[in-house]
Amino acid sequence: MSDVAVVDAGGSNLGSVCYALERLGVRPRVVADAAGLRGARRVILPGVGAAPEAMRRLHEQDLVAPLRALQVPLLGICLGMQLLYERSQEGEVECLGLVPGVVRKLPQAPGIRVPHMGWNALRAMRPSPLLDGVADGDSAYFVHSYAAPVTADTVAASDHGGLFTAVVRHGRWCGAQFHPERSAATGARILRNFLEMDH
């Protein structure tokens, strides 16, 4: 299957996401412009870094409007998930606006370190094909300082000084705040579920 497009938005996790897909038998194509999205059956938007720089790069690549207009499922990973929302407090930047909500900085609290780095349990919030074969309490690997609030679109949450969205789905738009490519069997299962789910 080579109809999976991975957007090169400058994230350092691009290679590891592609490698994780190859382990699932997928040969993704890396795209950096709207033409590369044509014919894709699935699109993945990885991201590491800061929201303002990532959005600036997407604008420079003329990818903002094509991503908003996609008619196939899109999965945002880490910062890529945050970019799906309306806005991020990080730099007060307008994001893609595909998922309702505002991404905010994780709260500082005694014993709670920001950035949130390491393994953390997933808590299922509503049924979704994205969680098929994933047990409540299975862990995933996180590295982030900002997070999306828990809303009706939250599929799974995690707790770090309070609940935040770990997996989101709003129609065709899906996201994982953690790194599925670094989350062992749990991450691989969620990637496979995204590739195989109905629209």
Residue 78 annotated in active site = yes
Q: Which domain holds residue 140?
A: 4-196
Q: What is the tens place of the pLDDT at every residue in 22-43?
A: 999 999 999 999 999 999 999 9
Please, what is the Cα angle at 79 between 76 and 80, to 5 degrees? 25
Domain CATH code at residue 9: 3.40.50.880
Nearest to 77 by CA among 132, 31, 18, 138: 18
Residue 179 annotated in active site = yes
Among residues 78, 95, 116, 170, the one annotated as catalytic is: 78
Rounded to 5 degrees, φ, ψ at 178 are -85, 180
Residue 18 annotated in active site = no
pLDDT band with cut points at 50, 70 and 90 for residue 1: very low
Among residues 86, 95, 181, 199, the one annotated as catalytic is: 181
> What is the number of structural domains in the chain?
1
Q: What is the tens place of the pLDDT at every residue in 105-159?
A: 999 888 899 999 999 999 999 999 999 999 999 999 999 999 999 999 999 999 9
**Whole-prediction pTM:** 0.96
